[in-house]
Amino acid sequence: MKKIKAGLIGGAGYTGGELLRVLLGHPSVSIEFTYSRSQAGKPVHTVHHDLFGTTNLLFSDRFDSPIDVLFLCLGHGESKQFLAEHSFDPSVCTIDLTHDFRLNSAASIGNRQFVYGLSEMHRNKLATAKSIANPGCFATAIQLALWPLAKTGNLQEAYVTGITGSTGAGQSLSETSHYSWRANNIQAYKTLTHQHLAEISEQLQEAAGSDISIHFVPWRGNFTRGIFISATLRTSLSLQESTALFESCYLAAPFVSISKDPISLKQVVGTNRALLQLEQQADCLVVHCVIDNLLKGASGQAVQNMNLAFDLPETTGLQLKANFF
């Protein structure tokens, strides 16, 4: 079978490293180049040490090899500039992992119109997409927790808290991503103003066909990877009815599971999976969701979207086991 030829722009960061790890194990993909201005000419494993002994791939200063899919793993704001300065054949599927094209008001550049890439919500659109805007990590977890309620008219307002590991802040060091600050410490940040709120609200309101209020308080956690969110809302549904709604909504979603037992980060870190758990007292419903911020929240979902766009089984190359112990 002919392999999909893939190219990466900006492969030296966390999401680039995770994307390389997944693609190197993907049976239908050949990596043609990994472009990095800062690391050009160096072996990939000198930056991503977990790939030592796995690949002899070098970072490249060129990106002119023929490809079928292009992954943009740049800093936020840089993908739009990159595509404005460089042109690619319209047949090349472009998957952007930044926030540059996630909102409807910013979803086009030149002749490219980006489709919002939350795989479970937009599977049909992604099957024919040539430009895909990968969702944010918190946005993925929160939307998976609320989408079934929104699309059935059972969501008007939700209060969400969520905690993320240090890799969510990217590879560049700052005071709050440094080990000495994170260890034995947590902190709320960007209270009610987090950048993912715009895409969350836009997508859920489109699903509901009405206004929805989402109030979000994110937390910095003292661990490296993973996201745990809890969404609290009022509902007229019983817990049994809500659970049945979620199970029906995600029946054909291979990476989303509904648990009746308490869920934890260790169940999903290292995987492309999302676990949901529902709890209820009277008319107050809480929906918990856990994902790996670098996989289901970024690189894993990008590969899932590639699989959909190239008519491959959704799970191809993504059957990854959690490091539970």
The pTM for the full model equals 0.95
Report the range out of 1-5, 84-88, 257-261 with the highest average pLDDT.
Answer: 257-261
List pLDDT tens digits, range 52-107.
999 999 999 999 999 999 999 999 899 999 999 998 999 999 999 999 999 999 99
The answer, yes or no, to whether residue 145 has pLDDT greater than 70, is yes
Spatial separation of the C-alpha atoms in residues 325 and 311, rounded to whole Å: 35
**Domain identity same for 164 and 274:** yes
**Domain identity same for 122 and 172:** no
Residue 26 domain-assigned? yes
**Domain identity same for 220 and 192:** yes
Q: How many domains does the chain have?
A: 2
**Domain identity same for 144 and 279:** yes
Beta bridge partners of 70: 7, 94
292-295 long-range contacts (CB < 8 A, ≥24 apart) are 292/225, 292/226, 292/227, 292/268, 293/137, 293/164, 293/165, 293/167, 293/168, 293/225, 293/226, 293/227, 294/14, 294/15, 294/18, 294/137, 294/167, 294/225, 295/18, 295/22, 295/270, 295/271, 295/320
**Domain identity same for 129 and 45:** yes
Residue 322 domain-assigned? no
The CATH number of whichever domain residue 201 belongs to comes to 3.30.360.10
Spatial separation of the C-alpha atoms in residues 83 and 110, rounded to whole Å: 9
**Domain identity same for 49 and 165:** no
**Domain identity same for 158 and 117:** no
Res 174: pLDDT: 66
**Domain identity same for 57 and 157:** no
**Domain identity same for 215 and 288:** yes
Res 170: pLDDT: 57
Spatial separation of the C-alpha atoms in residues 208 and 234, rounded to whole Å: 16
Q: Where are the alpha helices (DSSP H) in the chain?
A: 14-24, 78-85, 123-126, 137-151, 179-182, 197-208, 239-249, 300-309
Q: How confident is the model at residue 109 (pLDDT cuts 50, 70, 90)?
A: very high
Residues known to be catalytic: 137
The CATH number of whichever domain residue 13 belongs to comes to 3.40.50.720
Res 325: pLDDT: 81
Spatial separation of the C-alpha atoms in residues 214 and 287, rounded to whole Å: 14
By the 8 A CB rule, do 2 and 291 touch?
no
Task: Give the residue numbers spanning the domain of 181.
Answer: 137-293
Upper half-sphere CA count for residue 142 (Cβ side, 13 Å)? 33
DSSP for 8-64 reads EESTTSHHHHHHHHHHHT-TTEEEEEEE-TTTTTSBGGGTSGGGTTT---B-BS---
Residue type, 212: I
Q: Share the mean pLDDT of the chain.
A: 95
**Domain identity same for 208 and 146:** yes
Residue 314 domain-assigned? no
